[in-house]
Each structure stands twice: as C-alpha cells, then as structure tokens.
A and B are shown apart, each in its own frame.
Chain A
Amino acid sequence: MKNLKYILAALATVAFFACKQDQYYLYNDIARLQFGPEPSRIYTTSYNLADTLKMYTFYYEDASIKQDTVFFDIYAIGGTKNTDRAFTLRQDQIANATNAISGTHFVPFNDPKVAKHYVIKAGTVHTRVPIIILRDPSLKTTTPKLKFSIVADGSFSLGEPSNIWRKLEFTDRLSQPSSWNAHFTQYYFGKYSVTKHAFLINTTGDKWDSIFIDEMYAGGNLIDYYRTVAKTALINYNAANPTAPLKDEFGDLIVFP
C-alpha cells in the first residue's frame, strides 16, 4: 500500500511535467511581433517559414543603380491599436560567415530613412519591412549575409522564436537562385555554375533568377521550351568553337541533361 502511494505520487509528478506550453501565441495575447510570409500565404501552413532567407543580386541592374530595397513581411499579434506602433530591428552576427557591414552594405536599421518605415500603423497588424541594400564594390567579389531580428521594446514583445529573425544574402555577381534547387538540377538544367547561368542569360535575354524559374514551372511547357533553346544554343556554340567547348568555372564541360 505504501509503495502504491509512492507510485501514484511519481505518476502525478511525471504527468505534471509532461505538459509544455505550445510556443504559438494566441491572437488575443499581449502585443507581439514576428515575421511571416506574404499576406496571401498566411493561412497556408507550408508557407509558415517562407521567406526566412532571401537572396538578391545587383547583377541584372544598370551600373547607375547604387541601392535597392528588399522587403520582408512582418505581423503584429494581439490585435490592433488605434495608434502607430514603432518596432526595432537589430543585426545578428553569423559565426564563420561574411557578415554584411552596416552602413557599407545596408542602411543601418536606426537610420531615419528606414526606421521611419518600421511602424505598424494604427488599426493594422501588418507591414512590409524595407531593407535598403547598398551596391558596395566589395559585392563584386563577395556575398555578405545579413541576419536581423526583432528587438523586444515598449510596443512589442517577441513572437514565435522561429519567426523573429530573417536573413538576406546579396551580391553583385551572378549567384545560384534559390529556385535552382536539386529538382531543377536533376530534371532540367543540370549542375549550377555561374558560367552556365551567364550562358543562359545571354542566350535567352531572360534573368534566370528565382522569379523566372518559378514562372517557367508554372508556364505549361515553358520549361521544355527553354531546355530545347539551351541545348540548341550550346550545340551551336560548341560547333562554332570546336577547340574550346563551353566549360564552367570548375573546368567541367557544360551540359544540359
């Protein structure tokens, strides 16, 4: 009987600690702030972590373009307020990576040029967060990373931990678009290389960035069209340069599967 008492006490203790509060916050919680997908995707579960990382290149832009803006979506939890609510962002350093330098690669978050936009307007729960990136000459040879997160302040507490930060990688070189992924590599255009990327751009006049690749997927037989165009152009190039067939920056012959 005595043992039974101990067992029941132990079970009650275990049961008590087995419960853990869900990290999701309710809409009527205190005012919190977190990033999220674009508004049309907020009810699509698979997009919960979309846009965590964005990539950008100045490569396609005219030389006169010295800066550009990348937007992220941010949402307030806990209902609306009848006054504007400013929020604060800070850069987080990433270990063992080329971190973007504030003022060199991007406009500092406390610069009034951008800080004035870091506001959830009265009566709303969403805004687009502008990150102004600068076309520093170093982007010709590097791809810095900018990780930033929300700072808890008088207006907002932090939202879900997985959505209080965002990352942006940018450069002034051709870089592998996010949509040139394993599927795109295996079934359509093969291994990525900057040389292949540039060849495709020169051949078709299109950007071959993620937007273009996503449009190809959605465009019926567009992807087959561009494969044929690429293959034909490569054959013609190699025929015109029999002693110097097109090779990538790794020295491998460029092929389209």
Chain B
Amino acid sequence: MKNLIVPIIAFMALISSCAKDKGNYDYNPKEEVEVKGIATSYTVISEKENLVINPEVTSTDPSAQLEYLWGIYETNVQGYAPKLDTLAKTKNLNYAVKQAAKGWVLVYRVTNKKTGYAQHFKSDINVVTEFTRGWYVAKDDGSQADLDLFLTPTNIIPNGKRENIYSTINGAKAPGKVNMLSFLSSYKSNVTGVNGNTRTLFLVTDKDIAATYVNTLRKIKDFNSIFIGTPSVKSPSALFVSGTAYYLVNDGQVHSIYNMGSNFGQFSARIMKDANNTNYNLSKYFLPGIPGLVDPYLFDEITSSFVSMSQGSGPMAVVGDDATTTLPASNNNQKLLYMGTKSMGYPAAPGIVGTLGYAIFQDKTNPAIKNLAEISGYSGFKLKIIQTPLTVADKLYNATMHTLLFGDESMMYFVVGNEIWSRNLANKFEKLEFTLPAGEELTFMRHKKATETGYAYNYVMIGSKVGANYKVRMFSKSSGSLNATPDFTLEGTGIAREAIYISPAASESTHNPSF
C-alpha cells in the first residue's frame, strides 16, 4: 500500500491537469478595411477653407455595415491630455476649419457595426491662416510703422492685399521708422499655451520692436517685454540669428539669446566688449554667421574694429587677421559706409566654414579715401579683408545705398541719385540697371530668393516713394542684370523700407538678414 502512494498522487495530478477546451476559435480570414483617398498631410487655412475628403472605403467582409467617424486632436501639447474632437460621422468630410493655426492630427475611424471591428487612419493637418503666406511690406509714415500683406494664394505673384494689417489686428501702429523686418522660426514664446518655437516676424523700428506671431499677426512682445532688463534707451537697429544665438542691437549695444538653451524669448543683458567694460558703439551693418555654425561679425565705430562673440556670450572676442589681409580687423581707422553678406558656406578658403561679405570703407583721417573690401569671416574669430581702392571715376564711389546678390552672381547693386547701378565684383564693370521715373525717390533695395516648390522667387526688390505712396518693384534678373520690367510691383500707402516673403516653408535660415 505504501508503494502505491506515489502513483496515486501522480495520477490525481494528471487528472486535474486536464481541462475541457472551450475555445471560441474563428477560422474566417481576418477582416480588413482599406481606405483610399486620404493624403498623409493637408494644409488648410483656418476660418477660411473647408477640409474636404471623399475617401473610398472597402472591407473584406462583403456584408459589412460600416459606420464612420472623423475626429481631430492637437499635437505638441504639454500639461494636459489632447482630446479628440468629433468633426463628422459621415463617410465623406466637408468641414469648415476653425482650429488654431498649428499642427493637428485628423483621425478617420471606420467601424463594421456587424462585427464591431474598427480600423483607424490618420493624417497630419497643418492649419495655417491667411497670414502665414505672402509678401510682407514694412512701411511707415515717418513716425509710425505698419505692415501690408500681399496674399499669394496660388503662386508667388500676389493676388489680394491686406493693407495696414499689423495695426488692424493689434489696434495701433508701431512707433518709429522701420529699420528692419526680420523673421525667426524658432524664437521662443508661450503664445500657444506652452513655451515653444514660435514663427515670429519682427518689425524693428528706431523706437520699438513689434514681435508678431505669424499665424495670427498678434503682437507677442515689444521693446518693453523683449528684454529681461529693459534698456533705458529705445533705439533698436537690427535683430538676426547667427551661430547658436539671436542678436539684437539697440543703441549700438548688442544683446543676445543663446538659442540652444532654455529661454523664454527675452534678450539678456548688454554684452560687454572686454574685461574692462570698454565703451563701444556698433554700426547698423553686420556680417551674420551661418545659423547653428558661425558667430557674427559686428563693427565698433568708436575703435574702428570688428568684434564677435561666442554663442552670444561676452565678453566679445578679439578678431584676428588672416595672413593675407590688407586691412586689419581691429583699430583700422575706417568708417563703415556699408556692409552686407554675399554668401555663406566656405568663402575664399575651401574647407573653412564662414561668411563672405563686402563693405565700403571710408578713411577717418582722409575721407576722400574709400575702398571696396571683400571680407571673409571665418569661424574662430578671424577675418580676411582684401581692399580695392575706389576712385571718383567709379560710380560706386558716390553710392548712397547698396545691396549684394546673396548666393547669386558676384555683383553689388548700388544707388546714385535715382539710378540703380550694378558692379561686377570680379572685373569692376559698372552698369546702369534701372532709372526711377521722375518724382520717385528710392527708399530701399534688397535681393531675396528662395526655392520652395511652386513659390520659388529670385528678386531684386526696389522700393520707392511716390508722394504718399510706395512702390516695390520686383525684378527678376538675367546673368546678374535686371530684366527690363519687374515681374510685379507691390503698391500701397506710406514709405516702404523692407519686404520679405513668409511661407510655411520659410525658416530662419531662408532669409539673408543683412542689408
């Protein structure tokens, strides 16, 4: 009996280990719902356009009874859980978009009522406004500034205009005369509810800075809120990106935001020149560096010296000279009449990243001496400046306004009287390109280009004043010379000082910020 104990226990264990299979196996093929006709992404204008999608839906279940649901939820949310808002319960979608301009996700759920089987399909929705694409003209009447927006719904040629759009939306014009119109795509603000990248247009006047959120054109900061400690003198002249910082020049003093670190879109304290806090006064002209890579070069008018700074922090770096330079970067006794950027990348010295610019210098001791200078600004705070003397026989000698063909032909455009001339920077050939009609006065000249599909442009923009109105002629060019007539002309009231094209594809490296 004793010997049977073990077999009995084993037998009982064996019995209890068996259980009847009550599985509910289904040997039918797996149900699949297929949807065609939904793109991976859509861009729609809020409060203006409808999101229209007519998908083709099929199911592997021939007797399927399908029901539908369209929903939308927002992306880049912090601090709360995104909520799916139902847009429609129909097969097709025709929805008047009202959402805020930002990234959203559209969800299409198809459910087989008979089996309960549901499948979800997603699509990115980029909600924009009519402000997120078009030509912006910064203008003033001598004491107050505003923006005009020229809409470009189908291509780069304007079709529609929103005059005085800044003051219309914000209730007042910005004080002062326009100095610059600048665009940053990664400027930080909490305009969407969280501190994050904000596509921002900066209307910089000689008395204020109006930082506006491009999606709504609402002002998000002004001079009194854009600094951590507001400077006592309001005289901003430039706002731009270089290397890993944003720079703001006010009253000849430079402030920065290190844009690779945490910040709330406020500029820090004035950067000191050196360990003795020596006075300086920066020119309005500057040589921006490549975003993310190269620091900028600025020019101190007191000491006639180029200065720079690493990652937006002071004190400023002493700029050294390349062995072949013909003008020292420091204490060169020059007055800077003009400086702009020709290209960014590998200027003059292959393998060394930097910025190529040109400048017009006038000798402080003998003002009759003027030079055209080619400036190669390298990373590592070193300049190569090669000067070419200008004589009174050169039209460029008496020029009052200049610009460069950024990233294009090696030419400088300049203004003498009401004539626009070009100068070939390689062979010094000067050519009359355009003469303003009588009664017009030139107000600005810039070269802008971008390569966005369907919206590519490459224009020399010539702004003029005609009585109380402005004209901005947009010239295409051939081999560096202006075509006989502009492709189109932007017209409005006031004095145009700057124009810029903004689109969802534009980033802060799209536009050359220098003059």
- Interface-lining segment among B6-14, B160-168, B260-268, B369-377: B260-268
Known: A219-B264, A221-B266, A228-B314. A235 touches B228 (CB 8 A): no
Q: Are B261 and A221 in contact (CB under 8 A)?
A: yes
Q: With a CB–CB cut-off of 8 A, which chain A residues contact B228?
A: 221-222, 225
B81 at the interface (CB under 8 A from A): no
Contact A232 B229 (CB under 8 A): no
CA distance A227 to B313 in the complex (A): 11
Is B432 part of the contact surface with A, judged by Cβ < 8 Å? no
Q: In the complex the two chains form, is B268's CB within 8 Å of A224's CB? A: yes
Query: With the chains together, A229 CA to B277 CA distance in Å?
Result: 12
Interface readout for B245-278 with A: 1 if CB under 8 Å, 0 if not? Answer: 0000000000001100111101011111001110
Decide yes or no: A221 and B257 within 8 Å by CB, A228-B314, A239-B277 being known contacts: yes
Q: How far is the CB of B147 from chain A (nearest CB, A)?
A: 28
Q: Do A220 and B266 form a contact, CB below 8 Å, given A225-B228, A239-B277?
A: yes
Residues of A within 8 A of B257 (CB): 221
* Cα–Cα, bound, A224→B269 (Å): 8
Interface flag for A231 (CB, 8 Å): yes
Is A232 touching B263 in the complex (CB atoms < 8 A)?
A: no
Q: Please determine whether A235 and B264 come into contact, CB atoms closer than 8 angstroms.
A: no
Contact of A181 with B by CB under 8 A: no
Q: A221-B257, A221-B258 are in contact. Are A228 and B277 (CB under 8 A)?
A: no
Task: Tell me if B276 and A239 are in contact (CB < 8 A).
Answer: yes
Q: A67: CB under 8 A from chain B?
A: no
When the two chains form their complex, are residues A220 and B262 in contact, meaning their CB atoms are under 8 A apart?
Answer: yes
Interface string of A58-101 (1 = CB under 8 A from B): 00000000000000000000000000000000000000000000
Number of A-B pairs, beta carbon distance below 8 Å: 45
A110 at the interface (CB under 8 A from B): no
Residues 196-248 of B contacting A (Cβ, < 8 Å): 228-229
> Which residues A213-257 have CB closer than 8 A to chain B?
219-222, 224-225, 228-229, 231-232, 235-236, 239
Among A220, A231, A239, point to the contact of B264 (Cβ < 8 A).
Answer: A220
Cα–Cα, bound, A235→B271 (Å): 13
A residues within 8 A CB of B272? Answer: 228, 231-232, 235
A222 to B262, CA, bound (A): 10
CA distance A100 to B373 in the complex (A): 74
Question: How far is it, in angstroms, between the C-alpha of A225 and the C-alpha of B313 when the chains are bound?
Answer: 10
User: In the complex, what residues of B have CB within 8 A of residue A224's CB?
Assistant: 258, 268, 313
Residues in B lying within 8 Å of A, measured CB to CB? 188, 195, 228-229, 257-258, 261-264, 266, 268-272, 275-277, 313-314
14 additional contacts (CB under 8 A) given A228-B269, A239-B276: A220-B188, A220-B264, A221-B258, A221-B261, A221-B264, A221-B268, A224-B268, A225-B268, A225-B269, A228-B268, A228-B271, A229-B269, A232-B270, A235-B276
Sample 14 A-B pairs with CB under 8 A, ordered by A number: A220-B195, A220-B261, A220-B263, A220-B264, A221-B257, A224-B258, A224-B268, A225-B228, A228-B272, A228-B314, A232-B269, A235-B277, A239-B276, A239-B277
